[in-house]
Structure 1
Amino acid sequence: MPEKTIPILPCRTLQPVLDFYTALGFEVTYQQRSPNPYAVVERGGIELQFFAMKQYEPAVSISTCYVLTDDVDGLYQAFRAGLKETYGRIPTRGLPRVGPLKDMTYGVRQFLVTDPGGNCVRVGQRTGGERHHGPAPQETFARALHFASLLADSKGDPAGAAKVVDRALALTDETPTRVQLLQLLVLRADAAARLGDEEAAVTGLARAAALHLTAAERDQGRDALTRLADLRGSLRP
């Protein structure tokens, strides 16, 4: 058989992790309780293995892996549907959580899923031949979105992302397009929610939802609109 790489990821206890992946449509194909807790989940061609250790701290985990797919939009919608059915909402902050679907500058369209064990599973589809970062956009607001997205998603620095967006929104001599404004407001609200500032998150989402967009603009900003809906659902009492 051809070679296959299988990530083995840590967690504190297995059951919350297995329940989470079951919600995403995975099947638990193996589980061992002793002498060492261990389990395997599978969904199509994706296989993830987990081991439990009591001294593990999910909140500071840096464990990650990458899943390549030829249907990232389909997986994103399936994962969101499963999470909403299980949790009654799309979890967007804390553990577990699912991030926004975005086109990245290094030739992939991707989203991040972080499980209850703190493991970040990046799911992406290649959209171009380049596998390294292209040059940053020169236009002011495209550049702000570029760097804020990298900080929020790739680096896990929502505070840094918030600062970039705030600087862009404070400009008085330039104006973003309506789609750019939508994307900036949603990204800023996302960062605020992750930082625990619900008031700022709710305010930003209300501003974004109040934008009057044409059908073409809604299509161009569909990823941000999807994230807007998920954030509003997760912040609802």
Structure 2
Amino acid sequence: MSDVMMIPVLPCVSLPETLAFYGALGFEVTHRQTTPNVYAATRRGDIHLHFMGMKKLDPRQAYTTCLVLVPEVEPLHETFAEGLRKAYGKLPVAGLPRISRMRKGQSRFTVVDVAGNSVVFIQQGAPDDDEEEGAAGSRPDAPSNSHMGKALRAAARLRDFKNDDAAAARVLDVALAREAPAAPLERARALAARLELAVVLGEAERARALRAAIGEAPLSDEERAQIQPALDAVDALERSQASQA
């Protein structure tokens, strides 16, 4: 059965826009037709994606999804991100189209195209959502079982697996607004996580306030060093959002 191949056929509204988007990701068009029906075939190495025209499709309501198993996700994400920056002038991380952000060690990311189709790239052999979350919970920097720690885990799940940044932000906002005591480092981690979401959601004023709160947090030098990678990632995200035009 090694000669068997399954190819997803995804709907699209505008074939030219769809092909341009996937072209930015390095896909080549191997077939294209407009009659008797709109259809195209693309490939990138061993990855094949086909598209069919669907005029009444509402990209905002689209739910078509396909999974692509690849040997490694981080290099592929970097390649896709660079192609999208060149095509769109900045990295599209919200709206349509978009690409989800990657954390170090993350095993999957999602590309949502101009028609609202979600293509999820997963590293071969990666655990499922619950197993991956459990593995993350065993790391030394994993959130505790405090209220703030639980909020951090819930927000991470919404961000990384559900691709719902707005919901993740709401979870952290509720936790940060509570008067319940929280360890300074864990609160700073929550502030940094919310800062990243503020950048993605275009909340400039909120981002400035969060940066100020992190700067005023009562942290030791060692604790500040622990959250610095998260802040560096936010800085890199902000640079990726700056127009290259």
Which TM-score tier does this pair reach, normalised by the shorter chain?
0.7 to 0.9
Shift of 1:201: 5.7
2:66 is paired with a residue whose SS is strand
Give deviations 1:36-87, integer Å, cap 9, x for gaps.
Answer: 1111111112111111111111111111111111121100110011111111
Query: Match for 2:177: what amino acid?
Result: A
1:203 paired to 2:208: yes
Shift of 1:162: 1.6
Structure 1 equivalent of residue 192 of structure 2 = 182
| CA contact 1:83–1:89 (8 Å) conserved in 2 | yes
Take 1:167 and 1:131, find their aligned partners in 2: how far apart are those partners? Answer: 28
Structure 1 equivalent of residue 82 of structure 2 = 81
What TM-score comes out, normalization by structure 1 length?
A: 0.78
**Alignment CA distance shift 1:5-1:27 (3 Å):** same
**Alignment CA distance shift 1:201-1:9 (3 Å):** farther
1:183 is paired with a residue whose SS is helix
Structure 2 equivalent of residue 47 of structure 1 = 48
Structure 2 equivalent of residue 144 of structure 1 = 151
CA RMSD of aligned residues (A): 3.2
1:15 paired to 2:22: no
1:165 paired to 2:172: yes
**Alignment CA distance shift 1:40-1:65 (3 Å):** same
Equivalences for residues 208-223 of structure 1 within 5 A: 214=225, 218=228, 221=230
**Alignment CA distance shift 1:45-1:179 (3 Å):** farther
**Alignment CA distance shift 1:67-1:75 (3 Å):** same
2:11 is paired with a residue whose SS is strand
Query: Match for 2:88: what amino acid?
Result: Y
Structure 1 equivalent of residue 92 of structure 2 = 91
2:7 is paired with a residue whose SS is coil
State the percentage of identical aligned residues: 34
1:109 paired to 2:107: yes
Q: Which ranges of structure 1 fall in alignment gaps of 5 or more residues?
A: none
Shift of 1:202: 4.3
Equivalent residues, number = 224
| CA contact 2:81–2:91 (8 Å) conserved in 1 | yes
| CA contact 1:161–1:188 (8 Å) conserved in 2 | no
Take 2:100 and 2:212, find their aligned partners in 1: how far apart are those partners? Answer: 21
**Alignment CA distance shift 1:84-1:189 (3 Å):** closer
What TM-score comes out, normalization by structure 2 length?
A: 0.76
After alignment, is 48-57 or 134-143 more displaced? 134-143
Structure 1 equivalent of residue 68 of structure 2 = 67
Q: Which ranges of structure 2 fall in alignment gaps of 5 or more residues?
A: 138-142
